[in-house]
A and B are shown apart, each in its own frame.
Chain A
Amino acid sequence: MIQEHRELAVDPRFPRQTLVSVLVFCIVWEILSYLAPSLGIPAFAIPSFVRIGQSLLTITPIDVAVTLARVIGALIVSFVLGLALAMAMYSSRSLENYLHPMIRLFMAVPVVSWILFAVLWFRGVEFRIGFVLLAVCGPVFLIDSLDAMRGVPRDLRGMMRSFRPTTLQFFIKLMLPAIVPSIITSWKINLSLAIRVVTIAELVGAVTGIGHQLAVAQELFSVADVFAWTLVLVALLFLLEALVIRIESRLLRWRP
């Protein structure tokens, strides 16, 4: 029963509840925006939807594109490095014994610390942002891939080895296809992580990107602009997730 209920709640074919909750939020917001002056709240704090709509019209696509490029670029680099290191660690016990504690340590470091390190260590803005994203997302890809590789059934590994593949063939024909489901899960996790982290990283020193625009909006006390940019970010994340889900259903067609 409980299971059924849960499935219903996240099923995209039943957006009724979602619609209702969004609508209620909007109505409450709109009412508050009208009541704000009489409640002693400054008018700019809770802008009406007309005002937010105007802000949305001023969204500059170039900033969205730049942020998107940073996220995708950093995720691809993190993925390739994470996967390569996971393969190396899978192949060598001693390498894993040395590196695993370090990676765990990395994962415990707060994002803010990475940003401060980035500012202290690097000059270039793109380096700083890239470094922060890599430090946050790389370990996730690495640990997830490594765990998934360790989880590939012994039976299948024995079968594969009985046909005497080269090391490269072993990974390409068995290990990588076997861990595709986990890789997709880590992409989903990392996408939302990266979208949220990139904006914080962009607050520090960037002169383009959504994070920078958020900083500008904050300096101008424009809640409407903050709201609009936030909407864009959320929409971006949803779009990217939808893309991953499409790729997922293509790659995992073989599943029962």
Chain B
Amino acid sequence: MSSPPPIEVRQLRKVFHQATSGQAVVAIERLDIRIEPREVVAIVGQTGCGKSTFFDLMIGLEAPTEGSIVIGDKTPYGDFDHFRGQIATVFQQDRLLPWRSALDNARLPLELIGLPEEVQRERALTWLKRLGLERFIDAYPHELSGGMRQRVAIARAFVVQPNILLADEAFGHLDEVTAAELRETFLALARECGSTAILITHQLEEAIGVGNRIIVFGKSAKLLADIKVAQWPKSEHAMLREAIQMTLQSNSPDPRLARVS
């Protein structure tokens, strides 16, 4: 597979106008980031800081108010159809279609691309097996546990072997053991596919464990810190954690983060 294109976020701004009050909510103030191909990035930030909005803009579900996201030389909103089969998302809730079996849920993105049905089934089956669901391919979502449903959602994201994988607090609602297990699987598969992966999380352990890079969002997605985890030896992870915690609490970069990077 060819290398995924870099992601360039330039002067990105998103303002919502609340339907009821007409008040403007600045979800993203000004954001500049560049994400290299195959990077695994964790984004942390407090609830309401604009993480999901950033994802909606990345997916192309929303238009930027100003600025742009450029992937390769295309924009996910403007060139919406260009990215069919290239960006896949695992959401906070599994968002499976309740009337479809696990297999039919997993093959949905392939249906939309228009692959022949046997190919769809075969590929979806392969991924479901890799996620340990071979015995549940015909089960409806309501017959599966939360963890299993999220596995189906992960299979659904991977079937197209996307260039870019997004996960929005995808493991936050599961118990710790299941969450850790799924996270490992997700990362291993992402590396194997050679995808760029961006994970939103509010758990710092998860962020430090996951990324080669941690991006810390303040209010209105203000870029508070951009941390290369490799620069922090394992022995200093506790300190890193504390520094990020302080950064989040004070909504301004902790000096310890600046010192190293």
Q: Which residues of A contact B (CB under 8 A)?
A: 155-156, 158-159, 161-166, 169, 173-174, 177-178, 180, 254-256
Cross-chain contact of B112 among A155, A156, A165 (Cβ < 8 A): A165
Q: State the CA gap A156–B97 with chains docked (Å).
A: 8
Taking a contact as CB atoms under 8 Å apart, the answer to whether B99 and A177 are in contact is: yes
**Contacts A156-B95, A156-B97 given: A163-B142 contact, CB under 8 Å?**
no
Taking a contact as CB atoms under 8 Å apart, the answer to whether A163 and B112 are in contact is: yes
Cross-chain contact of A163 among B93, B100, B108, B140 (Cβ < 8 A): B108
Q: Please name all residues of chain B whose beta carbon is closer than 8 Å to the beta carbon of A173 when the two chains form the complex.
A: 108, 111-112
Q: Can you name 19 A-B residue pairings with CB atoms under 8 Å?
A: A158-B56, A158-B61, A158-B91, A161-B59, A161-B61, A162-B87, A163-B109, A163-B112, A164-B84, A164-B85, A169-B112, A177-B99, A254-B98, A254-B99, A254-B140, A254-B142, A255-B142, A256-B140, A256-B142
Cross-chain contact of B88 among A163, A165, A166, A178 (Cβ < 8 A): A163
Taking a contact as CB atoms under 8 Å apart, the answer to whether A159 and B95 are in contact is: yes
Q: Which residues of B contact A (CB under 8 A)?
A: 56, 59-61, 80-81, 83-85, 87-89, 91, 93, 95, 97-100, 108-109, 111-112, 140, 142-143
Q: How far is the CB of B212 from chain A (nearest CB, A)?
A: 25
Q: State the CA gap A178–B100 with chains docked (Å).
A: 11
How many contacting A-B pairs (Cβ < 8 A)? 54
Q: State the CA gap A165–B88 with chains docked (Å).
A: 13
Q: Please name all residues of chain B whose beta carbon is closer than 8 Å to the beta carbon of A256 when the two chains form the complex.
A: 140, 142-143
Q: Please name all residues of chain A whose beta carbon is closer than 8 Å to the beta carbon of B100 when the two chains form the complex.
A: 254
**What 11 new A-B contacts, CB under 8 Å, besides A161-B59, A164-B112?**
A163-B112, A164-B60, A164-B84, A164-B85, A173-B108, A173-B111, A178-B99, A180-B99, A254-B98, A256-B140, A256-B142
Taking a contact as CB atoms under 8 Å apart, the answer to whether A155 and B95 are in contact is: yes
A-B residue pairs, 10 tightest by C-beta: A159-B95, A164-B84, A256-B142, A254-B99, A163-B109, A162-B59, A254-B140, A165-B112, A162-B89, A177-B99
Q: How far is the CB of A70 from chain B (nearest CB, A)?
A: 33
Q: State the CA gap A178–B99 with chains docked (Å).
A: 8
Taking a contact as CB atoms under 8 Å apart, the answer to whether A174 and B142 are in contact is: no
Q: Please name all residues of chain B whose beta carbon is closer than 8 Å to the beta carbon of A180 when the two chains form the complex.
A: 99
Cross-chain contact of A164 among B56, B81, B91, B140 (Cβ < 8 A): B81
Q: Please name all residues of chain A whose beta carbon is closer than 8 Å to the beta carbon of B88 when the two chains form the complex.
A: 162-163
Q: Please name all residues of chain B whose beta carbon is closer than 8 Å to the beta carbon of A178 when the two chains form the complex.
A: 97, 99
**Contacts A161-B61, A163-B112, A173-B112 given: A155-B98 contact, CB under 8 Å?**
no
Nearest chain A residue, comparing its CB with the CB of B91: A159
Nearest chain A residue, comparing its CB with the CB of B143: A256
Q: State the CA gap A156–B83 with chains docked (Å).
A: 19
